[in-house]
Every structure is written in structure tokens, then in C-alpha cells.
Structure 1
């Protein structure tokens, strides 16, 4: 039990050393991540539709 207490005590001390982003930075990073995910999803959807169309043409 003592090792577990020491572990979580160490975790607490390390968390205080972390440089947390400010609200403005966090918002900016969140928008960048969401935009990147959206762009990649659209890109892969277009690629998927293109490959599906080519396969349908070949099989017909």
C-alpha cells in the first residue's frame, strides 16, 4: 500500500511541473485538430468513392 501512495504522490508532484496550455492556445490547437481530422476524412471519403467506382467499372 505504501508503494501505491508513493506512486500517486510522485504523479502529483510531476503534474505540478507540467506546463499546461492557456485557454487561447487550447482553443487554437483544438480547432487545428478538428480541421485536420475533417480534411483527412473528406480526403479518404473521396479516395474511397473513386476506388469503389473503378472497381464497379472493372467488375461490370
Structure 2
């Protein structure tokens, strides 16, 4: 059980060394991540719609 206490002490020690982002940086990173997710969702939705139309077109022949 002594190892568990040592583990958590090491975790706390390492967490104190972490360089946390400032509010402005965090906001910028959040905007980048959300805009990338939205762009990728729209891109793949468009690709999916295009492939679906191609399949429908080939099946209608």
C-alpha cells in the first residue's frame, strides 16, 4: 500500500510542474478545435452525400 501513496505524491509533484494555458490561449485552442470539428463534419457530410448520389445514379441505370 505504500506504493500507492508514493504514486499519488509523484502525480502531485508532476502536476505542479505543468504549464497550464492562460485563458486567452485556451479560448484560441478551443475555437481551433471546434472549427476543425465542424469543418470536418461538413466535409464528410458532403462526401457522403456525393457518394450516395453516385450510388443512386448507378442503381437508376
TM-score (norm 1): 0.97
Gaps of 5+ in 2: none
4+ long deviations beyond 3 Å: none
Aligned-residue CA RMSD (Å):
0.5
TM-score (norm 2): 0.96
- Counterpart-to-counterpart distance in 2, 1:47 and 1:23: 36
- Show the counterpart of 2:53: 53
Gaps of 5+ in 1: none
